[in-house]
Amino acid sequence: MKKVTIREALFDASEFLKKHHLEQPVAEWLLRHYLNKNRTELLLSLDEELDEDVLTRFCDDLRRHATGVPVQYLIGYEYFYGRRFLVNEHVLIPRPETEELIESVITWKKTLFNGQAVTIADIGTGSGVIAITLALEIGGDVIATDLSYDALSVAKKNAEALRANVTFLHGDLIEPLLTLDKKIDILVSNPPYIPLKDKATLPKNVRDFEPPLALFGGDDGLDVYRRLIPALPSVINRPALIAFEVGAGQSEDVVTLLQQTFPDEKAEVIYDINGKDRIVLIALQQA
């Protein structure tokens, strides 16, 4: 095989990505990953030759990316709230919007519970990002549930690698919590909320590669909220905080569902950095 410098490999890869209408920085992202270099180190080594096995892997991954495989599944991780989480095709790739859910929960925890220890539940934990981040940022007793054994196995690895103390339970939504002899103070969820009718318009990398179980919430995307919210009174403490991520345009319906179950308190909508409705939360007062 012809010798290729890092500079040439990066240039060719950028051209390839451009041709396929993909984001060019992916080339640098992949190379930094294989070579275990930060940006400065990579730029300082542009004239070095690329090992043949690295070059082969680089070309393979670029080709797979061009078929739609997200880079995060190729390299096996994504950052969330400043920490690195393992991901694979069994879990949703964490999104920056979800970091805003974490921010809201941390702020409300201080208001509602001050320094008190709390029991936290993350419903549909996927890679575990929410449960693990809250365990590390807030502490307390953290429980996470998921219907997918494969997702739970990723989440457990993440908790172990990040030394987070989280109890993972298998089952549908809050079902695993019903057998516990404690009530939840903070319940958080980023459930699958994409309307099935939007499937055709989703980007290929999402539609064909992220797990459908983590993406779709029935025809209008609200199925999980509809099943989850009315079931909450049996597991929730008072006072409590309930916080959901929602899809843009869904907040009004989710607020209505919450008000039906908790008519005495007022649900709130929080907009994300792009001005889209993104989080719905409700604080329940002491009984």
CB 268 within 8 A of CB 101: no
- When the beta carbons of 126 and 221 are compared against ligand GLN, the nearer one is 126
Question: 86: helix, coil or strand?
Answer: strand
- β 166-170/83-86 pair status: unpaired
Distance, in Å, from the CA atom of 151 to the CA atom of 76, rounded to the nearest integer, reads 14
User: Which two tokens mark 116?
Assistant: 């008190």
Residue among 42, 122, 33 nearest 78 (CA):
33
In the list 31, 92, 105, 281, the residue contacting ligand GLN (rule: CB under 6 A) is: 92
Q: Per CB under 6 A, does 251 bind ligand GLN?
A: no
In the list 27, 62, 72, 94, the residue contacting ligand GLN (rule: CB under 6 A) is: 94
Q: Per CB under 6 A, does 62 bind ligand GLN?
A: no
Q: Per CB under 6 A, does 145 bind ligand GLN?
A: no
Q: Would you give the binding string for ligand GLN spanning residues 196-235, x where CB under 6 A is met?
A: ------------------x---------------------
CB 251 within 8 A of CB 222: no
Q: Per CB under 6 A, does 192 bind ligand GLN?
A: yes
Q: Per CB under 6 A, does 124 bind ligand GLN?
A: yes
Distance, in Å, from the CA atom of 225 to the CA atom of 120, rounded to the nearest integer, reads 18
- When the beta carbons of 190 and 205 are compared against ligand GLN, the nearer one is 190
Q: Per CB under 6 A, does 125 bind ligand GLN?
A: yes
Distance, in Å, from the CA atom of 145 to the CA atom of 136, rounded to the nearest integer, reads 17
Q: Which parts of this chain interact with ligand GLN (CB under 6 A)?
A: 92, 94, 98, 124-127, 129-130, 190-192, 214
